[in-house]
Amino acid sequence: MFKRRNYTWNDGKSLSLCDRTLIMGILNGTPDSFSDGGQFNIPETATAHVKQMIEDGADIIDLGVESTRPGSTPLTTDEEIERLSLLIEPVLKASTVPVSIDTYHAKTAEYAFSKGAHILNDVWGLHYDPDMAAVVAKYKVPVIIMHNSNDTNYGDIIEDMKAFFFCAIDKALKEGVTPQQIWLDPGIGFGKTEEQNIEVMQRLGELTAYEYPVLLAPSRKRFIGSMLGGLPPEDRDEGTVAACITGVFQGVDMVRVHNVKMHKRALAVADGLLRGE
């Protein structure tokens, strides 16, 4: 069920996808994120949070400086790089694990990789910036291709998602990206209604059946709040655990979460049960 991948970087950091679910800790270096905006957008608080998440069990730190919450104002590339320039070097220095960059702009990704970032997390799955796949190929980094859409009109949502992924994968391979670099993310909370998010969660096994590792990122999303009677984002961690374990039992390889400690403990049990240990 688990895909096998091993990655090493020139700075000595490494990552192995093996027989347990990996955890990506969220670092929102934004003033306006839906969950924790404004808490970690200066070096002092950002690096302290990085160290805490690693102590709690994070395998990757995911750094983003543009909010992708519904209704947020997109940044220009120059604005995004200006924000990122305050955090990227302190975060890389503080982190003992790989750091992924959450961006859909090739220029921002190029800047981050030139500073030493390790992974690309693209919320538009190589569909937004035509130069992004070439940047991934140039730096030979893993890329997380997330499904997204400007509307919610699908035929069969999983089949449409597969078509999106296959288009992005084809584009990446033609630019020289290798299959080993590619991960997939179903994009929970992006371009989907609450009902569609739930359907995707129920059908994750149709995506994990493919050769590519799958990242699941439901943390504190609105559909969880709705299922919990309208709870605000900061009170959705238990619901996030349930969503992540639903994914683990369908074969996802990594989860992206805010509360690393809670998920580290829960996933230790889930992985043990799944493997019969």
Sequence-distant (6+) residues with CB within 8 A of 19 are 2, 271, 275
pLDDT at 277: 55
Alpha-carbon gap, residue 197 to 70, rounded angstroms? 15
Decide if pLDDT at 141 tops 70. Answer: yes
Decide if pLDDT at 118 tops 90. Answer: yes
Task: Name the maximum alpha-carbon separation found in the chain.
Answer: 50
H-run or E-run covering 119: strand 119-122
Angle at 115 between CA 257 and CA 256, to 5 degrees: 10
pLDDT at 18: 82
Catalogue all structural domains in the chain, each as residue range(s) with its CATH number.
5-275 (3.20.20.20)
214 Ramachandran zone, left/alpha/beta (phi>0; psi -120 to 50):
beta
Where in the sequence numbering do the catalytic residues fall? Answer: 221, 256
pLDDT at 10: 94
pLDDT at 2: 58
Q: Average of pLDDT values for 7-33?
A: 90
Banded model confidence at residue 1, pLDDT cuts 50, 70, 90: low
pTM of the model: 0.94
pLDDT-above-90 percentage for the chain: 88
Banded model confidence at residue 126, pLDDT cuts 50, 70, 90: very high
Average of per-residue pLDDT values in the chain: 94
223 Ramachandran zone, left/alpha/beta (phi>0; psi -120 to 50):
alpha
- On whether the CB atoms of residues 72 and 32 are closer than 8 A, the answer is yes
Decide if pLDDT at 187 tops 60. Answer: yes
pLDDT at 39: 72
Return phi, psi of residue 235, to 5°. Answer: -105, 20
Residue-wise pLDDT tens digits, 30-47: 875 545 556 777 999 999
Residue-wise pLDDT tens digits, 98-111: 999 999 999 999 99
Decide if pLDDT at 276 tops 90. Answer: no
Residue-wise pLDDT tens digits, 46-72: 999 999 999 999 999 999 999 876 667
Q: Average of pLDDT values for 19-23?
A: 93
In Å, what is the CA distance from 243 to each residue of 132, 141, 236?
30, 28, 11
Alpha-carbon gap, residue 260 to 23, rounded angstroms? 7
Sequence-distant (6+) residues with CB within 8 A of 238 are 262
